[in-house]
Amino acid sequence: MNRKRHNSDLKWKSVARKTLVIFFLLIGCTIHVTFANTDMQSLISSWFDTNTDESVKTMEEELNRVKQQQLERLQMEIRSQMDTVDQELQILLDQQIMERSSELEQYADEIIQDIEISPNNINQELQIEMDAIIIQAKDDMDLLRKNNSIQNDNIIESEKD
């Protein structure tokens, strides 16, 4: 009986060992699959981040290059248009100068035609101016005489007192 019991203990131990081995294998495989899945996710995530960074960097470089080209194109176009406007402005300015000069010449010609200088005109104008000066001088002298007589009267009165 001892032997049977010993065999049965051995069988049980063998089954227990086999069960433990299978159990650990299952746990190991499960852990391996879990870690492999995690490793795959981190590998994919890392790859995606790297490619995203490279893509963004490439895109920024390309956009900067295109932006620089467009800025140069705009500058060239602005310079071209400024040159054109400058030429048009110079033409307009020259035309305006010619027109204004012509108008001034015509106006001066009209004034020259209207001017009549003769000794009679000058003499008459001078006579009028001289008369006005003489009248003003007489008025000033009369005023002086009145002021002087008032002062003399005041002095005489003050001497009498």
Q: Residue type for 56, please? A: V
Q: Can you give the pTM of this predicted structure?
A: 0.38
In tens, the pLDDT along 1-48 reads 455 556 666 777 777 788 888 887 777 766 665 565 566 677 777 777
In tens, the pLDDT along 35-55 reads 655 666 777 777 777 888 888
pLDDT of 87: 93
pLDDT of 126: 75
C-alpha distances in angstroms, 160 versus 56, 148, 149? Answer: 119, 18, 16
In tens, the pLDDT along 101-132 reads 888 888 887 777 876 656 666 677 778 888 88
Higher pLDDT, 103 or 149: 103
